[in-house]
Chain A
Amino acid sequence: MKLIFHIWRQRDGRSPGRMVRYEQDGLNPDMSMLEALDVLNEELILKGEDPVVFEHDCREGICGSCGFMINGVAHGPLSKTTVCQLTLRHFDNGAELYLEPWRAKAFPILRDLMVDRSALDRIIASGGYISTPAGSAPDGNAIPVSKEAAERAMDAAACIGCGACVAACPNASASLFTGAKIAHLGLLPQGQPERARRALRMVARMNEEGFGQCTNIGECEAVCPKGIRVEVISRMNRDFLKASWTARRAGAD
């Protein structure tokens, strides 16, 4: 099959970027989007041109490395699917596809389709954990966790940190990502002791990193490849408000 790509090419954060058109013929519908780019890159290299830089590693939809906009939609048109698992059979023969990097103030562009998402790591570092130094844990069955709580925590924990939610959000908010971690840990008994501190710190860090505010648009949920639900944002807001009140009251005493 044939596809016409328009791909964002940009040398580095300081240089201007532009869309460049590439026509690809003889593609196999069973290929993934990234395999199509591999083929394109092989051709570019042999022609002496710079290949398109894009991130990827597992190519199984789990590492969260890959991701770019396809015709304005983060990870492209297929729901709950990262670009590495998106096969060409979902496109019409001859389709024109516009590939662009995630665009957000907190995600500076490094080159072509590659951006710097380290802000997401810093949000986790600020409080997205349960403090248990190795060796300090009680027996695994000491604290029962209801099947339902475990399943719901797992739903939230499935986030792969790809950043699509940020890219899709008109405010470039990282609330879905942050809320997912707060929900995962907050749903488990083990996560209770640090729950308030976690919400306060993670939300504060999110703001410091330059992500926008959530205004309940819901684009994030629509593009999330792991089906993270916007409920996690409500949870985050509840935890944050409660923790802020408690902190304020404690301050007044």
Chain B
Amino acid sequence: MPIAGNIEAAGRWRAGSLSLDARAPGGPIERAWDKARFEMKLVSPANKRKHEIIVVGSGLAGASAAATLAELGYNVKCFCFQDSPRRAHSIAAQGGINAAKNYHNDGDSVYRLFYDTVKGGDFRSREANVYRLAQISVQIIDQCVAQGVPFAREYGGTLANRSFGGAQVSRTFYARGQTGQQLLLGAYQALERQVDAGRVKMFPRTEMLDLVVVDGRARGIVTRDLVSGAIESHAADAVVLATGGYGNVYYLSTNAKGSNCTAIWRAYKRGAAFANPCFTQIHPTCIPVSGHYQSKLTLMSESLRNDGRIWVPLNKGDKRAPNEIPEAERDYYLERRYPSFGNLVPRDVASRNAKAVCDEGRGVGEHGLGVYLDFADAIARLGRAVIEERYGNLFEMYQRITGENPYQTPMRIYPAIHYTMGGLWVDYQLMSTIPGLFVIGEANFSDHGANRLGASALMQGLSDGYFILPYTLGNYLAGEKFEKADPLSPEFREAQDAVAERTRRLLEARGRRTVDSFHRELGKLVWDYCGMSRNAGGLEHAIGKIRELGEEYWREVKVPGAAKEINQSLEKAGRVADFFELAELMCIDALHRDESCGAHFREEHQTPDGEALRDDARFSYVAAWQYNGGDPPLLNKEPLRFEYVHPSQRSYK
């Protein structure tokens, strides 16, 4: 049931009338997933073969889903824009993956992981989903170990763990600083095994550019072959989007350069609701920007905060080298302000505090946009060898990029955009508001609320792909009747024409500015006004600017080359065009959410000591936006109820 709309600032949005049924099972939360599975309809093995499923994306979510669906007997087509599914952006995750195994006997449990995730998300996620995620976390580790993921081990041969931001227990499993790589290779290998068996047809270097909806159900996609440039249609009984996050709307981010919002944005324009687009996460530990040519930002895993101590000089403008600053003139501000969590406070808290000390003029490095992450104490306590074993490759990477040796001088870090909690709205079954369109991994909005805890994205992607979608998709298929979708039908033709028309417009604008120059400018606007902190005036300003720039984009962009060839500028141009539209929706969402929660920090709403101030009475809901042609988007609300974890102001003191 939609709740009555807020005041609609300057007609930026209107109230929608979608009924958002989350389909979360009632009853005790511990049994909800069992109950849901029991109630699901099943597809018989003989019938599975008759269903064609499209999976767009081959990251942790997409590869695990495609492999598992094929193992079950479905016919799968899997798409990615890189030359190999193994290169999906998940490969870059460093730190680890959470699971409530309690192997360390330190008090962890499914319930505690559930509790931490709901609280860490600042009470803006759906309890039933989060509980299920915590339950499944345990199975994921088993699955990955069996696949040969070389997780770190103790001397006795058992699995090792470390702790991560926002948690007081050691529940993070890791494979050196390459956890995402190893988990993805596990899923990729399972996927390739199915490719060899003929049950998955893989389409690398193929980009989805539109979704095709027939009679209200998702029945296919339109793609561009990135080598030949051919625009093609693919029909199926269901479409799964696993296309990752949209952090690159900020231009500079820790995401891979190709990460984009095109697939989910096209789906939004075909009727899928987009939830909480303004919930974007800033990661506290990235290497600071060094120049205007900078093409992306590099993350330093937050696992470093386990042993590194964060500080800035006590006094403004202290330009001395770090080792010349005596203890008494250093401010270990996180340890000071948050004695119980110290350097391990959640990401949003760590990021905002870094911004605050830099805004006070106490930042370090050439541009004053940086804080120290110091390992001197840890090296003295544990010895260099231990630190090298834990973080060797991260230290190497830091040195390679900055030319500085972090064993000797503290690292400099600064927050950067890293993850997007927002995404397409999905119900408990991971289905969007378009029947037959499922969304998994970072591309959906589920589970992390307004702030994601470290090491929880890998867990969510694999949980969705290995253990949830394979059931819920079957439930959908079993309950529907399908005639074969015809790629020559008017719906497919219309979508294909629309794609060809956009391509033509981009190529024929023949303006005076490159795609990157627009993207950089857009990114700066979003970072300045819809980044670490936001306010109504700034957001209004940004919306106006984004529109202006977006109009200029279609007039002035210069895309060389032709449609029917390898054309990387054209690929980028399409993605950036979608980022413009998404950026506006993000700002509208941030403007409408007149409270602070998690990573969404509205300056108007803070406690006297600068902490985020939620407004549960007005905003305890998921904002699910609906495309409304050229008119302001429609706001629909899924109310959130907390029966287990009682909303409280988060406190990491």
Contacts and interface: CB of A to CB of B under 8 A. Distances in A.
A61 B400 CA distance: 11
B548 interface: no
A53 B178 CA distance: 28
Nearest to A44: B560
B329 to A, nearest CB: 29
Contact of B71 (A81, A117, A134): A134
B146 A157 contact: no
A61 B569 contact: no
B514 A62 contact: no
A188 B186 CA distance: 14
Interface string B391-408: 000000100110100000
Nearest to A114: B566
B188 A65 contact: no
Given A31-B291, A58-B91, A118-B83, A134 B64 contact: yes
Nearest to A132: B146
Given A53-B566, A117-B84, A140 B89 contact: no
Contact of B68 (A53, A57, A134): A134
Contacts of A85: 397, 400-401
Contacts of B298: 59-60
B87 A63 contact: yes
Nearest to B561: A50
B157 A157 contact: no
A85 B92 CA distance: 14
Contact of A110 (B176, B290, B514, B566): B566
Given A12-B565, A57-B256, A35 B293 contact: yes
Contacts of B71: 133-134
B227 interface: yes
A190 B139 CA distance: 17
B14 interface: no
A30 interface: yes
Per DSSP, are chain A's interface residues mostly helix, strand or loop, or mixed? Answer: loop
Given A45-B569, A110-B227, A137-B142, A28 B293 contact: yes
Contact of B83 (A30, A53, A55): A55
Contacts of A65: 82-83, 87
Given A81-B400, A130-B189, A146-B157, A141 B103 contact: yes
Interface in A79-114: 81, 85, 87, 89, 110-111, 114
Contacts of B64: 134
Contact of A153 (B146, B148, B155, B256): B148
A34 interface: yes
A60 B566 CA distance: 24
Interface stretch (A69-77, A120-128, A164-172, A212-220): A120-128
A85 B352 CA distance: 29
A111 B226 CA distance: 12
B608 interface: no
A146 B152 CA distance: 10
Contact of A39 (B89, B144, B181, B293): B293
Contacts of A141: 103, 158-159
A121 B145 CA distance: 22
Interface in B40-67: 64, 67
Given A45-B569, A140-B159, A141-B103, A161 B84 contact: yes
A253 interface: no
Nearest to B103: A141
Interface string B449-477: 00000000000000000110010000000
A35 B291 CA distance: 11
Contacts of A62: 91-92, 178, 181
B193 A139 contact: no
Contacts of A63: 82, 87, 89, 91-92, 256
B445 to A, nearest CB: 24
Nearest to B389: A151
Interface string A16-56: 00000000000010111011001100101110111101011
A145 interface: yes
| Residues of A in contact with B, size category | 35 or more
B651 interface: no
Contacts of B189: 124, 128-130
A70 to B, nearest CB: 16
A147 B157 contact: yes
A140 B397 contact: no
Contact of A111 (B142, B182, B560, B566): B566
B153 interface: yes
B143 interface: yes
Contact of B290 (A30, A140, A191): A30
A45 B190 CA distance: 41
A68 to B, nearest CB: 14
A89 B146 contact: no
Nearest to A154: B150
Contacts of B508: none
Q: Which of A31, A35, A81, A135 has the most chain B CB within a 10 Å cutoff? A: A135
A138 interface: yes
Contacts of B151: 140, 150
Nearest to B152: A150
B185 A157 contact: yes
A140 B190 CA distance: 18
Contacts of A161: 84, 86-87
Contacts of A11: 565
Contacts of B82: 57, 63, 65
Contact of B470 (A110, A134, A158): A134
Interface string B115-153: 000000000000000000000000101111111101111
Contacts of A251: none
A32 B293 CA distance: 10
A45 B470 CA distance: 45
A45 B560 contact: yes
A28 B291 contact: yes
B258 interface: yes
A128 B150 CA distance: 15
Interface string B155-197: 1111100000000000000011010011001001110110110
Given A61-B397, A65-B82, A125-B196, A139 B470 contact: no
Contacts of B470: 134
Contacts of A140: 101, 141-142, 144-145, 151, 159
5 contacts: A45-B514, A58-B92, A85-B400, A141-B159, A184-B150
A-B pairs, 6 with minimum CB distance: A144-B157, A129-B189, A137-B146, A125-B192, A137-B142, A125-B196
Given A59-B298, A63-B91, A85-B401, 18 more contacts: A42-B514, A53-B568, A57-B258, A58-B92, A59-B257, A59-B296, A60-B397, A65-B87, A87-B403, A114-B566, A126-B196, A129-B148, A129-B189, A137-B142, A137-B145, A141-B159, A154-B150, A161-B87
Interface of A: 11-12, 28, 30-32, 34-35, 38-39, 42, 44-46, 48-51, 53, 55-65, 81, 85, 87, 89, 110-111, 114, 116-118, 120-121, 124-126, 128-141, 143-147, 150-151, 153-154, 157-158, 160-161, 184-185, 188, 190-191
